[in-house]
Amino acid sequence: MLQSDTAVLPVLDYLRRLLAGELTPGERTHLYYPTAISRLLGLRIVAVDYGIAELEIDADPQLHGNQQGTVHGGLLCELADAAIGTAHSTLLAHGESFTSLDLSASFLRPVWRSSLRARAEVSHLGRTICHYRCDIVRDDGKRVASVVSKVMTLRGEQAHGR
């Protein structure tokens, strides 16, 4: 149950206010920001718009490395998935939720130590299923991965408790 002094904002409004440093005490949205996985990995939302989100992470092979000493592809997938999820959340009405249906990543070049930026954008906006594309670039501007995903919006009983 919501407290009377709590303002529940649409996700896009909440995230815009968060990025601008304009949230006031008690303002929230129906989803969790920052997410637990974002806090754990140090993912940062840096830009949002309707169906668009950009996230960053400071990737370090000492923390995120694989056997070859480069940043693990799973981290790139998580960064893209978080950007896509954030982009999709900007489309949701109060009480709606979502789930990823698939995610396909093409890895283009290795990453060592770098600030990475993922830009996710809706490429097909359906009533229930939306398609996304997400590019991840290193701090030198070179693209390291290209990711596509489908996301399903959950409503009513499907969204309850999610």
Q: Which residue has the tokens 């489908």?
A: 150
Confidence of residue 3 (pLDDT cuts 50, 70, 90): very low
- pTM summary value: 0.94
Rounded Cα distance between 128 and 125, Å, is 8
Q: Indicate the helix (H) or strand (E) that contains 53.
A: strand 52-59
Amino acid at 104: S
Specify the residue for token string 């996985």.
37
Nearest to 45 by CA among 10, 89, 75, 9: 89
What topology does CATH give the domain 43-158?
A: Thiol Ester Dehydrase; Chain A (3.10.129)
- Per-residue pLDDT of 48-107, as tens digits, reads 999 999 999 999 999 999 999 999 999 999 999 999 999 999 999 999 999 999 999 999
